Amino acid sequence: MKAKDRTLAELRARIAEVGPAEALALQARGAALVDVREADEIAQGSPPGSLRLGRGFLELRIEDAVPDFDQALVVMCNGGTRSLFAADSLARMGYTTLYSMAGGFARWKAEGLPVERPSALGAADRERYARHLAIPEVGEAGQAKLLAARVLLVGAGGLGCPAAVYLAAAGVGTLGIVDPDVVERSNLQRQILHAEAKVGLPKVRSARQALEALNPTVRVDSYEERLSSANVEAIFAGYDVVVDGSDNFPTRYLVNDACVKLGIPNVHGSVYRFDGQASVFWPGYAKRRGPCYRCLYPAPPPPEFAPSCMEAGVLGVLPGVIGLIEAVETIKLLLDIGDPLVGRLLCYDALRAEFTELALAPDPHCAYCAPGRTFPGYVDYERFCHAA
């Protein structure tokens, strides 16, 4: 008997084998179905809900994907041989309940069991997003979600610029940018998408050029107009997440009201001198009901207590910190991973290098987001904020 055959016989004596139908039943009862085939094989089809980890990096990735060493694992390859070797390796790592699928994916498909074809990434995408593909919480399926996602950034200024840079780099497929302003020299201290040569150019055009140079596969839709009650719903339509990087109260209230009406998560950020804040305002979040912006600020403060960045100043790098937090929260929402800042306000004090988190409860009497309330309509936001 050849050494290979002897080894396989020894593995079959130690590792239980199950057929595809039994594997599907085990998966339904909570077992993890681990597909250890190569990426080109998986691209031809894979069982729904399987962990597509590949054989080459299995030992490096499995513990992140399945941290419970007592959870049952059904290991699958194409024909049922590689899965035996992989299961043996997992047993040596400490996993206690292991099965190898006899006949592998070829038999699974032949028996007519469900198959899905993962969104295939091209060679260039695999190279560009390699570090994402190595993370179990992202992987190929998550990267495909990002490539299909649509995110709108309100403002191409201090907060919108760093958020846009990292969302484009992460592969968010469509980025919309709303901003009516042109690039000014005073912007360049913090608005990193723009440059000296672009002074006088519309910000949305400057931003689009920079983002397309960074990642030409990302589509950038630009709206060179001021957001208003008349155009907000038409602009917001079809976007998965809105990132609010505005620097004035009328726009913040308008963004909030439109997001509440349309059911879109509102990733919020604000900065002032050395201080910044970030949160996610989304009353419709399925895992827990969060507040909207009006729950936290029912009315804007008087203008003398809320000076603009032009009046009060801002440390140039501070919007980078808050804008990147907005980008992280956006990606978490798109991938449905982690614990987003819904019902939480993250405050950053740059001088003390200190983060503080405040719990935010929804206002049960909020005129815009309280359960059972009819949307009261948009208002004259300039007058509303000026009157306050």
- Identify the band that residue 118 occupies on the pLDDT scale cut at 50, 70 and 90: confident
Nearest C-alpha neighbor of 95 from the set 70, 75, 116, 114: 70
Q: Find the mean pLDDT for residues 358-370.
A: 96
Q: How far is 173 from 249, CA to CA, in rounded Å?
A: 29
Asked if residue 34 has pLDDT above 80, the reply is yes
Q: What is the pLDDT of residue 343?
A: 97
For the residues 108-121, what does the mean pLDDT come to? 88
Q: Which residue matches tokens 């929402």?
A: 333
Q: Are 201 and 183 in contact (CB under 8 A)?
A: yes
Handedness of CA 189, 192, 198, 199 (dihedral sign): negative
Find, among 270, 275, 274, 276, the residue nearest to 256 by Cα.
270
Domains and CATH numbers, the chain: 3-118 (3.40.250.10), 149-387 (3.40.50.720)
State the pLDDT at residue 306.
Answer: 58
Q: Is the pLDDT of residue 55 over 60?
A: yes
The mean pLDDT of the chain is 93
DSSP 201: S
**Mean pLDDT across the stretch 74-80?**
96
What pLDDT, on a 0 to 100 scale, did the predictor assign at position 301? Answer: 74
Of 74 and 133, which is predicted with more confidence? 74
Instruction: Report DSSP state, residue 185.
Output: G
Q: What pLDDT is recorded for position 364?
A: 95
Give dist(CA 182, CA 308) in Å, integer.
Answer: 18
If pLDDT is split at 50, 70 and 90, which confidence band does 189 have?
A: very high
User: Residue 283's pLDDT is what?
Assistant: 95
pLDDT of residue 387: 62
Return the DSSP state at 129: T
In sequence order, which residues have a C-beta less than 8 Å from that of residue 254 and are 6 or more positions away?
A: 227, 228, 229, 232, 378, 381
Q: Are 150 and 75 in contact (CB under 8 A)?
A: no
Average pLDDT over residues 212-228: 96
- Structural contact between residues 291 and 362, judged by C-beta atoms closer than 8 angstroms: yes
Lowest pLDDT segment from 11-20, 190-199, 219-228, 295-304: 295-304
**Which tokens go with 154?**
């309100």
What is this structure's pTM? Answer: 0.77
pLDDT > 70? residue 307: no
Q: In which band, very low, low, confident or very high, does the pLDDT at 47 lie, cut at 50, 70 and 90?
A: very high
Residue 376, burial from CB neighbour count under 10 angstroms (0-12, 13-18, 19+): exposed
